[in-house]
Amino acid sequence: MRLAVDYPYWLLALGLAPLLVLAARRSLSGLDRWRSRVALLLRLLVLTAVVLALAGARFDRESKAVNVAYLLDQSESIPAETRERMRRLVIDNIDQRRHADTGDRAAVVVFGRKAVVEYPPVDYTPALARIESSVDATATDVADAVRVADRILPRDAARRVVLVSDGNENLGAAAREAAAAAEGGLSIDVIAAPVDSSADIAVESVYAPTVASRDQPFDVRVVLANRSPSSQAAGKLRVVRRAGATEEVISESPVTLPPGKRVFTIRQEPDSADFYTYEARFVPNNPRADAHARNNVAAGFVDVRGPGRVLLIEDHSHQGEFDRLVEGLRREGLEVIVEPSNATFASLAELQRFDTVLLANLPRTSDDAGSLFATLTDPQVEMLVRNTEQMGCGLVMIGGGRALGAGGWADTALEKAMPVDFRIKNLKVMPTGALALVIDKSGSMDGEKMVLARAAAHEAIRVLGPRDYVSIVAFDDGVSSVVPIARVGDGQQARRRVQQLAASGGTNLLPGMEAARRELRKATDASARHMIVLTDGQTPPEGIEQLAARLKRDDKTTVTAVAVGPDADGRLLDAIAKRGGGKFYSVRNPRAVPRIFMREAMRVAMPVVKPLSPPRSPQRVFEHEILSGVSGGFPAISGFVQTTVKESSLVDVLLRSPEPKLAANATVLATWNYGLGKTAVFATDAGHDWANSWTGWEHYDRFFAQLVRWSMRPTGGEDDYLLTTEESGDVTRVIVDAIGDDSREAELDLATGYASGPGGESVPFTLRQTAPGRVVGEFATGAPGVYFLTVTPRVGGPTLRAGVAVSRSAEYEDKEVNVPLLTRLAEYAPPRGDAGRLVGGEAPLPFVTAAGDEAARELDPFRRDMPPVVHSQEAWPLMVLLASVLFVGDVAWRRLRINPFGFLGALRSRLRRTQVEATAPTLERLHSRKQAVREGYAAQRASDGEAPTGASPVAELKQPSGASKPRPPAQPSPSIARDKAPDEEAGYTSRLLAAKRAATKQSNDDDKKNRS
């Protein structure tokens, strides 16, 4: 480790040190010599620390280690055996070449479509028994592998990657990524890996015109490729034409393929307009002669134009209600396909056949609980909406007692696409209903049944309007009011209470129904009352049927019963439903319960249906092309489903009922544009019930045909544009060319497009003008499957459609190692380092020849041909801290009288005090003994008749034996003694003051000597 600086010119400031010394001689003259020298040293250290901080001081540590990442290509173009040999090569190379004493580290990255870190950088040989990471092998992205390695390799040492690949990238830009990584200090070694050279047959493409007219012949061309260098391949070529769910084999014949490509042509002349898919499949006679079966299928698409195709979906439990409408549309030249709701489309591809879709009095759920799951599912509804918004298809809802809000479509994606809301939002005209749910919560309901019961309650609450009433009563042996009767509002409070339901106890239904009856009676302003009873077990039957009859007769409350599972008392529950005027459901699968509750809750929501008695004729509000040629008034209707017109300027209300008076809730026919498509709502039926007088109306066929034609995909002008697609790796380019019309060329900058993938996801893409009359866009097609495209060249223009089938991997296309790319990658050199090394370029390939294997083993990625990496740590913060501490120390040293050796004196005093404390008991005993001797001596003198003297008994003891005792001095008179005492006291005080003055004078003299 060494100290270095970033800004060395700041070191010139150290030249100020002599000036600091000169200045210190004057400012420190008041201190003694050694104190002034210490103060000067502190100031010089402060100056040095400040200068080093300004110069950007740092500590540099040089690393001799090398960090290496091995990048292993796991794509399908690399044979499985070669991938295994790659793994063994990496383990051996790390074990033999890594220098443990210098801290070398190794990492392993595997890659295909994406790169994954198999082993992070470690300072030991990884235990790589097998590749654990899962990668998508259908593509090769070398650039992503280099990017990941560059990110995970620590930068505290020299860095290198070893790329083991055939170089056949079909994603990313490896050369650009490698150049950037090399600039950052990354060296690249390359080991070329062989590709799979097995014989392979592929269906490369199916070419067909994007658009054709009915009865216009066109050719479908199938391109087959035999990628074997010498041998022929025999098999069968099968071509299928699909239109929706209909599939027809148009060609099936044996073929023999020599090496190379061969084109097969099939003549087609469809007799009906449709969106056709042509799929070609090759089946080899010998499967072993075909290395990859996944590239044996390809598809093409043709949009055959005609007068227009219409899909009418009707309730499967009420089929035939719209036969009159279907006949009238067909008489007007429209091709109408009728499908029941339980056997309709299952994919977005099937909807491409049609120009508009009619939902005829279609409820969200069916009448038959057994057919509950055959109605339109949420994914199907989303496909309908996407087909309109992004694909330009029309969507029309025709009313009836099971449609719109009365059919449970409120708060759905379908409602968002319509020009009206399915709830009545004006409280003045909105009637209210009351719903009571009586739910069994006995112990047998525990588990899935209780979970679904709670979900069913949620569905029922969701269907109700905010001013409707709801009550939920749970029963076992007793009764509990889960949700007391109250208006639904936003439903949040009721939903929270429902979550408290828990199973326990036995089963007794009668108290639960009585409690629900009391709750419903509190909803005095409800125009409709309904009770739903759910149980899965046996209950005492006494009084239950009679209560159901009284509910219907006295309270005008209908009762529906739901029996869950085989243990429920079906006979009793059926009788309850019959006596209560409701419906009985016997459910074997508890998953049907939520939909049943939702449908039954619609009995309360049915006030959205507005009966008209006597029947009234709709009034024309707005002139529109739908009403073109329809003269005079309209036949009367006896009812319709009330809605609320959306607050949008795009909504056109064409027909309105005279009742109710509020126009927003009296709409009979409304339209608007939704995305690329058009939607409409006809709030009454088409002649089966409320509008039966319409069936004999002279304009019946024309009115509905014009409504349907208005909603269809825009037609006309398709021949003015050419739409083509090009596949490139994981991206498909969409090219739209305007043909011949300069005005249209100028408008192409408004082109918009959507792509719908095999998973149903929809992706918008932007088309940008690249030349006069040409716009180009692109979207990702990574996953295999069918992609549908719609492009609108200009606002109000036709909708161009196309399809792209992604069925094969680009990995099957290349049969040779991409030596130029691998060579280019190895030539990139880091700054002040050597270029990488290539093994297997012009020399024999590793994993195939012994010479190539030996060259790969000899490669040393841990070689020291790159400059060592210097790891720096900033030191200027430490210098700033040091300067601050030294500055405070300098001030303290000059201003405070600090004795650096004072601690020794303090230590000595402490030791002496300890000794004194230790001898204190001995001195105390000595004093006691001396006092006793004095007292004994005084007593003896008193007994001898001698006056006491001031002589010390000790002094007497010190006299030699035989010596005469001194006579005591004469005692002065009391008066003389009193006069003499003050003089003695004054003499002592004088001596004390004199000694103090002498000590002070001596101290001052010492200070003067020190200063001099």
> Stretch 318-329: mean pLDDT, rounded?
92
Higher pLDDT, 45 or 738: 45
Residues 391, 754 contacting (CB under 8 angstroms): yes
Strands 211-213 vs 297-305: parallel, antiparallel or unpaired: parallel
Note the pLDDT tens digit of each residue in 36-60.
888 888 888 988 889 888 988 888 7
Q: What type of residue is 703?
A: F
Q: Name the range with the highest mean pLDDT among 226-230, 738-742, 1008-1012.
A: 226-230
Between CA 388 and CA 392 the distance in angstroms is 5
CA distance 1 to 872: 9
Token pair of 826 as six digits: 């190895």
Query: pLDDT band at residue 742, thresholds of 50, 70 and 90?
Result: low
- The number of beta carbons lying within 10 Å of the beta carbon of residue 271 is 9
Q: pLDDT, tens digit, for every residue of 145-162?
A: 999 999 999 988 899 999
Q: Who contacts 534 (Cβ-Cβ below 8 Å, separation ≥6)?
A: 437, 438, 439, 440, 453, 456, 561, 562, 564, 593
pLDDT reported for residue 681:
96
Judging by beta carbons within 10 Å of its beta carbon (0-12, 13-18, 19+), is residue 534 exposed, middle or buried?
A: buried
Query: CATH number of the domain at 201-305, please?
Result: 2.60.40.10
894, 39 contact by CB (below 8 A): yes
| pLDDT score of 810 | 67
Compute the average pLDDT of residues 340-362: 87
* Per-residue confidence (pLDDT) for residue 913, from 0 to 100: 63
pLDDT-based confidence at residue 794 (cuts at 50, 70, 90): confident
Highest-pLDDT range among 4-18, 198-212, 294-308, 393-407 = 393-407
Q: Please write the tens of the pLDDT for every residue from 906-964.
A: 666 666 665 555 555 655 666 676 777 677 666 666 655 554 444 444 444 444 444 44
Q: Label residue 453 by pLDDT band (50, 70, 90).
A: confident
Domain at 721-812: CATH code: 2.60.40.1930
| Residue 820 to residue 829: CA distance in whole angstroms | 17
Q: 537-562, pLDDT tens digit by residue?
A: 788 889 999 999 999 999 899 999 99
Alpha helices in 699-813 (DSSP H): 700-711, 742-747
CB atoms within 10 A of CB 761: 10
**CATH tag, 65-195+814-867:** 3.40.50.410
pLDDT score of 795: 66
Could you tell me the pLDDT band of residue 240, with boundaries at 50, 70 and 90?
Answer: very high
If pLDDT is split at 50, 70 and 90, which confidence band does 975 have? very low
Instruction: Tell whether the model's pLDDT for residue 1008 goes beyond 70.
Output: no
Average confidence score pLDDT of the chain: 82
Task: Say yes or no to pLDDT of 260 above 50.
Answer: yes
Q: Are residues 326 and 312 in contact, defined by beta-carbon separation less than 8 angstroms?
A: yes
pLDDT of residue 926: 64
CA-CA distance, 611 to 545, in Å (whole number)?
32
pLDDT of residue 291: 76
Tell me the three state secondary structure of residue 242.
Answer: strand
For 570-589, the DSSP string reads HHHHHHHHHHHEEEEEEESS
pLDDT band at residue 592 under the 50/70/90 scheme = confident
**pLDDT one-digit tens code per residue, 383-393:** 899 889 888 89
Chain mean position to CA 382: 22
pLDDT of residue 954: 42
Alpha-helical (H) ranges within 761-901 are 819-827, 850-858, 876-895
Beta-bridge partner residues of 279:
240, 299
Question: What is the reported pLDDT for 978?
Answer: 43
Ranking 65-74, 366-375, 455-464, 823-832 by mean pLDDT, the lowest is 366-375
The residues of the chain that CATH labels 3.40.50.410 are 65-195+814-867, 432-588
Report the C-alpha gap between 825 and 820 in whole angstroms. 9
Matching residue, tokens 């309901």? 445
The Cα 479–Cα 511 span in angstroms is: 6
Residue range 434-457: mean pLDDT, rounded: 88
DSSP string, 649-696: TT-EEEEE-S-SS-GGG-EEEEEEEETTEEEEEE-S-SSSSTTGGGTT
Sheet strands (E) in 135-229: 158-165, 186-192, 201-207, 211-213, 218-226
Torsion of CA 638, 641, 645, 646, to 10 degrees: -160
Q: Mean per-residue pLDDT for 281-285? A: 91
- The residue type found at 524 is T
Task: Note the CATH architecture for domain 309-426+609-711.
Answer: 3-Layer(aba) Sandwich (3.40)
Which of 233, 642, 173 shows the shortest CA–CA distance to 403?
642
The architecture (CATH level 2) of 432-588 comes to: 3-Layer(aba) Sandwich (3.40)
Token pair belonging to 627: 């009403």
Residue 479 bridge partners (DSSP)? 475
Residue ranges matching CATH 2.60.40.10 in the chain: 201-305
CATH 3.40.50.880 positions along the chain are 309-426+609-711
Question: Looking at the predicted structure, is the pLDDT value of residue 442 above 80?
Answer: yes
What pLDDT is recorded for position 987? 58
The segment(s) of the chain belonging to CATH 2.60.40.1930 are 721-812
pLDDT band of residue 657 (cuts 50, 70, 90) is very high
pLDDT for 970 equals: 47
Lowest mean pLDDT, pick from 93-97, 607-611, 807-811: 807-811
Token output for 122:
């470690």
* Residue 601, pLDDT score: 79
Question: Residue 109 in contact with residue 160, Cβ under 8 Å?
Answer: no
Q: What confidence category does residue 61 fall into, taking pLDDT thresholds of 50, 70 and 90?
A: confident
Quick: pLDDT tens for 468-527.
899 999 999 889 999 999 988 888 888 888 888 888 888 899 999 999 999 999 988 888
pTM of structure: 0.60
Q: What digits encode the pLDDT tens for the residues 578-591?
A: 999 988 888 877 77
